[in-house]
Amino acid sequence: MTDRPADIGPRRLPPSPLIYEINTWVWLAELSDRIGCTGASEPITLADVPHATWDAIAEYGFDAVWLMGVWRRSAAGARIARGDRALMESFAEAVGDLQSQDVVGSPYAVRDYTVDDHLGGPAGLVAARRALADRGVALILDYVPNHVALDHPWVGTHPTWFIGGDRADLAADDASFTEIDGRVIAHGRDPYFPAWTDVAQLNAFDPDLRAATDAELSRIATQCDGVRCDMAMLVMNEVFAWTWGNRAGPVPTDDFWPDIIASVRARHPGFVFIAEAYWGTESALIDQGFDHCYDKTLYDTLRDEPGTLAHRPNADDGDPHTGVRFIENHDEPRAPEAFGERDRQAAVVILTVPGARLIHHGQLTGRRRRLPVQLGCSPDEPVDGDRAVFYRALLGVVDDDAFRSGGQRWCDTRSAPALLAWTRGARRWLIVMNTAGTATAGRIRPDWSDPDEAHPAGQPAPGTRLVDALSGQPLHICGDGAVDVRLGPWGWLVLRLIDTDTDRADVGWVP
């Protein structure tokens, strides 16, 4: 497939899109099991996902779906995983009754950037893309710039595109190097961890490899609205030179991403680039053309040091919309395990601050078992009813343009330093957090000014009131526009400023 079907136009994302990450192989297996109970005889593929399933995703208010892991998996990678005792033990711990066929290989050991036949092939992706587009939802896919599977065609046809070694390297460190067709090549790696033995390391400094990356991404851009680039910082000049030294050759004058992103966008205007990135490289990648980068700093703060949140209101450098906010994804533990009972407060934070907001497959039903990406099945887990109701209510609240494109203002909370508060949109929403493990009370002074209305700063318009959007309970606004709040440990409020007469019907998404 080289061209986007004529009836599927590109979807433009808002500044702060709500994105749903789906583990595609596992999701389709779950759908097949569910529908099999009603008589379906063949496994579900992307070509025949029920309309009601797509409808449910759209009704949650998602702006984009990231179908994680659609590309052809590596048979060699699956064999390597099955032969790794430690990995197999972790797989069995995750799913219980593990079968050999459940290990399908890593989605980040890509054999070919063609949709895997098991998932419905290219035609299945066209059907899924059309179903999403019909519902106003964009499609995000993966790209892995740093490495490919050991059985990817490039390994045989373009050996100079890879970091090479010699027999001495292989003898000294056979976990970091391998021999293919008589040539020693390096396994892909992150400099802080052991090599990934199911992949071959591309040479990001090779000009022909860069041209091939441009061409591959341009082809992928005909099939979706954006890509999430795995470990995008690994191919930046500085990081790549640090990781590989002289093996990579001379450092190019130009960095890896700027020309490639510009070239793809010249052919596909508006195509979205999302970077998985760490180590303080986020702002540099935004400068090089990415629309959004992972905000691991916020994740770590929410998980490990929530009490410091109130001291970090200006932590974003540049445009805060460029962050990707999350409390779980396929690389992180499940939120109820990582955060305990604070996961709902953390969810309120990441869904109401500016930036791309990521929800992970299983998060909405409170799953607790993190699934290794090499598996094609999932364990049975009961739905956590409380969390399911909470997310249904919260996503109903944030399905508002103020959270997709509205600005943010931090509030004066000096009377209660444990409180953190901000407004979203023009005179519409006030979010309040207690960042302490004890009850806290204090006075918040929001800036209620609106440049489009003639009401003075510090005072809301006459006839307005605050209502907790998750319970429907009102909150008093003082005569000077301040708000007195009292919150339990790690408590939160999501308040809407409404006009009593005109907005009565919009109040209270009560669970």
> Which CATH class name applies to 408-506?
mainly beta
DSSP single-letter state for residue 9: P
Confidence label for 458 from pLDDT (cuts 50, 70 and 90):
low
Name the percent of the chain in helix, strand, coil, to the closest 5.
35, 20, 40
Taking the chain, what is the end-to-end CA distance rounded to the nearest angstrom?
A: 45
Backbone region of residue 138 per phi and psi (left: phi > 0; alpha: psi in -120 to 50; beta: other values): beta
Q: Which two tokens stand for residue 63?
A: 């702006």
Q: Which two tokens stand for residue 161?
A: 């595109």
Separation between Cα atoms, residue 219 and residue 301, nearest integer Å:
38
Q: Which two tokens stand for residue 70?
A: 């659609």
CA distances from 83 to 49, 129, 198, 209, 443 (A): 33, 36, 11, 31, 60
Q: Is the pLDDT assigned to residue 459 strictly greater than 80?
A: no
List, by residue range, all CATH 3.20.20.80 domains of the chain. 18-143+295-404
Lowest pLDDT segment from 11-25, 27-41, 384-398 = 27-41
At residue 439, φ and ψ (nearest 5 deg) are -60, 145
Residue 117: enclosing H or E segment and its boundaries?
none
**Of 297, 135, 129, 337, which is closest to residue 224 (Cα–Cα)?**
129
CA distances from 347 to 321, 360, 366, 398, 433 (A): 17, 12, 12, 11, 12
Amino acid at 355: G
List, by residue range, all CATH 2.60.40.1180 domains of the chain. 408-506
Query: DSSP letters of 72-105?
Result: EEPHHHHHHHHT-HHHHHHHHHHHSS--GGGB--
Separation between Cα atoms, residue 463 and residue 474, nearest integer Å:
13
Residue 177 burial by Cβ neighbours in a 10 Å radius (0-12, 13-18, 19+): buried
- Cβ atoms of 191 and 30 within 8 Å: the answer is no
What average pLDDT does the segment 196-206 reach? 98
Average per-residue pLDDT in the chain?
90
Q: Is the pLDDT assigned to residue 39 strictly greater than 70?
A: no
- Cβ atoms of 74 and 345 within 8 Å: the answer is no
DSSP single-letter state for residue 477: B
Q: Is the pLDDT assigned to residue 16 strictly greater than 70?
A: yes
What average pLDDT does the segment 470-498 reach? 90
The residue that leads in pLDDT, 112 or 11, is 112
Q: What is the CA radius of gyration of the chain?
A: 24
Confidence label for 7 from pLDDT (cuts 50, 70 and 90):
low
Q: Which two tokens stand for residue 300?
A: 């770590």
Separation between Cα atoms, residue 58 and residue 242, nearest integer Å:
43
Q: Is the pLDDT assigned to residue 509 strictly greater than 50?
A: no
* pLDDT given for residue 287 in this prediction: 97
Count of C-beta atoms within a 10 Å radius of residue 423: 23
What average pLDDT does the segment 194-199 reach? 96
* pLDDT given for residue 72 in this prediction: 98
What average pLDDT does the segment 19-33 reach? 96
At residue 356, φ and ψ (nearest 5 deg) are -65, 135
Strand, helix or coil at 487?
Answer: strand
Confidence label for 504 from pLDDT (cuts 50, 70 and 90):
very low
Backbone region of residue 245 per phi and psi (left: phi > 0; alpha: psi in -120 to 50; beta: other values): left
- Cβ atoms of 328 and 335 within 8 Å: the answer is yes
Instruction: Write the secondary structure of 337-400 as one string of H (helix), E (strand) and C (coil).
Output: HHHHHHHHHHHHHHHHCCCEEEEECCHHHCCCCCCCCCECCCCCCCCCHHHHHHHHHHHHHHCC
CA distances from 108 to 214, 277, 460 (A): 19, 15, 51
Q: What is the pLDDT of residues 103-148, one digit of tens each?
A: 999 999 999 999 999 999 999 999 999 999 999 999 999 999 999 9
* pLDDT given for residue 310 in this prediction: 72
CATH number of 18-143+295-404: 3.20.20.80
> 318-342 b/e with 16+ CB inside 10 Å = b?
eebbbbbbbbbbbebebbbebbeeb
Residue 168: enclosing H or E segment and its boundaries?
helix 167-172
High-pLDDT (> 90) share of the chain, %: 79
CA distances from 509 to 92, 179, 197, 390 (A): 41, 60, 49, 10
